[in-house]
Amino acid sequence: DAGVIQSPRHEVTEMGQEVTLRCKPISGHDYLFWYRQTMMRGLELLIYFNNNVPIDDSGMPEDRFSAKMPNASFSTLKIQPSEPRDSAVYFCASTEDFTDTQYFGPGTRLTVL
């Protein structure tokens, strides 16, 4: 099993640019989560999907952030326009059942200059 796949692994961009992060969950997993991790705030849940449908997006910081899951094997998290305070590690995770283990991808380390 390939595990959760995220791309890119590192992204450096300038303030105001659009950033798109990608995630491929483990096959058969019905839940997909997007998290952001910073030293100050720890691991924060941004949004999660069940069967490709967004269930809870209350953690999305503001309208600059958007997430989609067009099919069971692909999700994107987009930031437009990006700001320096968006610099963080963004993790995607998936799970078969909500109460089960969440399997995390390796993360995307985003730096906005």
* Residues in touch with another protein (CB under 8 A): 35, 41-43, 45, 48, 55-56, 91, 98-99, 101-102, 104-107
In angstroms, what is the minimal distance from the CB of 42 to another protein?
3
Choice between 30 and 81, CB closer to another protein:
30
In angstroms, what is the minimal distance from the CB of 66 to another protein?
20
In angstroms, what is the minimal distance from the CB of 81 to another protein?
27
For the chain, helix (H) and strand (E) counts, in that order, are: 0, 11
Residue pair 104/89 in contact (Cβ under 8 Å)? The answer is: no
Choice between 81 and 106, CB closer to another protein:
106
Which long-range contacts does 46-52 make (Cβ < 8 Å, 24+ apart)?
A: 46/77, 47/77, 49/75, 50/98
Pick from 60, 57, 1: nearest CA to 28: 1
Choice between 25 and 107, CB closer to another protein:
107
